[in-house]
Structure 1
Amino acid sequence: MKAIYLYSTPGCHLCELAREVVDPLLGNYAVTLEEVDIAQSDELIERYGVKIPVLKSPHHLEELCWPFDTHQTAAFLQRVTV
């Protein structure tokens, strides 16, 4: 199974909303979701600090930044799992 990253940080209510959008879709694709706490890396804070939550595939350049809905997330997952 491929991994998809959710860049987030603890206590982020937008990140919790993103999980509510993403989690129900995971069963439709051969992916697992790994949350990455950006607070653990200065580089990640600099890159994603004002954009989280962000979905990213390690195999593609494309990112999906918040806000995203179910349709946008499904389209993203379709593109990155092909």
Structure 2
Amino acid sequence: MHLVLYQRDDCALCDQALALLAAARAPEFASVWIDDDDALEARYGSRVPVLRDDRDGRELDWPFDLAQLAAFLRG
């Protein structure tokens, strides 16, 4: 699994991102909650949700739409 979605608990924007991922039929991804991790909070706190491709380090920050997500998933 090379995709990671960084998110927060009780995050409406994260829920929207999850819906877009489902609509795009994104491949399986890991969900990582940043709430209790100081390093992740410092890196992603103002940017969540963020989709990261661990293969090449690319990141897609919110807000993104279906077209942007599809382009990101194509690499």
For structure 2, the 5+ residue unaligned runs are none
2:46 matched residue in structure 1: 50
1:5 matched residue in structure 2: 4
CA distance in 2, matches of 1:24, 1:34: 17
Q: Deviations over 1:7-64 (max 9, x none)?
A: 001101000011111112235xxx3121100113110000000000000011112100
The correspondence of residues 1-82 of structure 1 with structure 2, limited to 5 A, is: 2-26=1-25, 31-79=27-75
**Once the two structures are aligned, what percentage of the paired residues are identical?**
36
CA distance in 2, matches of 1:40, 1:26: 29
CA distance in 2, matches of 1:59, 1:3: 6
TM-score for the superposition, normalised by structure 2: 0.91
Moved over 4 A (4+): none
CA RMSD of superposed structures (Å) = 1.2
More moved, 33-42 vs 63-72? 33-42
- Letter of the 1:6 partner, please give it: L
What count of residue pairs does the alignment treat as equivalent? Answer: 75
8 Å CA contact retained: 2:49, 2:61: yes
For structure 1, the 5+ residue unaligned runs are none
